[in-house]
Structure 1
């Protein structure tokens, strides 16, 4: 049983894993997208999203806390100056993982992890997202769709109404 074993160790020692995630997070902040394996991307998402949340509050304490994780002055500057202003009103979910296929050498599942607000193709979508209004999600039984698709067929209620109207006309 694997009770209480949330973290994916990625086949590395604790120090190696910490250094790898720190470097991946710095690269993600500086370049806005990184190509890596799916397992590393999922581990990176858990590592970097709290740092992005902390960057919304630009204080000396939060800068020092994030620096303890990233150890890179350029990425700290980029995170607090540019990235935090772009994600300021987003309540969470700052990263997106897009699967790209399998690596040729070892058949590892590859993906691209990116910052959501920096992908212009996804940001400028048309429809409800562009207008700002959300379309309500509803389930339908399919009866309404059948009636719209096949207007020639009448329901029983409509048939009785037309008969009643015909009798009144006579």
Structure 2
């Protein structure tokens, strides 16, 4: 489950946003967002990779219930998770990049560790 940050959204809006951002992160390998959103995305993305490492049908269905696109779930189980087979956690990293021009929010890049 995500942390306690509400991010200015209701629960259903927040969960939909986090599901989409985790899906985009797993699809592209990296994304730029605010630092607070990145801190919320990190444990969710790592849980999906851990499910991918299990590799069984139950884990696939559980990941598919969270990830919004089936092709990304397939990519997670066939390409991403095998890269981290020998690694015990720490699949993502957050790098601060500065502030956003419009509202001065701190931005960060969250990416999968190679």
Q: TM-score, normalised by structure 2?
A: 0.95
1:100 and 2:88 correspond:
no
1:23 corresponds in structure 2 to 20
1:114 corresponds in structure 2 to 111
Residue 43 of structure 1: CA displacement?
0.3
Partner Cα separation in structure 2 for residue 48 and residue 96 of structure 1? 11
**Is the 8 Å Cα contact of residues 26 and 45 (structure 2) preserved in structure 1?**
no
Structure of greater relative contact order (alpha carbons < 8 Å, 6+ residues apart): 2
Structure 2 residue matching 1:56: 3-state secondary structure: helix
Partner Cα separation in structure 2 for residue 75 and residue 19 of structure 1? 16
Partner Cα separation in structure 2 for residue 46 and residue 92 of structure 1? 10
Partner Cα separation in structure 1 for residue 68 and residue 38 of structure 2? 19
Residue 105 of structure 1: CA displacement?
0.4
Residue 46 of structure 1: CA displacement?
1.9
Q: How many residues align?
A: 112
Q: 1:91 aligns with which of 65, 83, 88?
A: 88
Q: Deviations over 1:24-46 (max 9, x none)?
A: 01110110000000000000012
Return the index of the structure with the highest Cα Rg.
Answer: 1
Q: 1:47 aligns with which of 44, 48, 53?
A: 44
2:32 corresponds in structure 1 to 35
Gaps of 5+ in 1: 1-5, 118-170
Structure 1 residue matching 2:53: 3-state secondary structure: coil
1:1-170 alignment, distance < 5 Å = 6-117=3-114
Residue 48 of structure 1: CA displacement?
1.4
Residue 9 of structure 1: CA displacement?
1.1
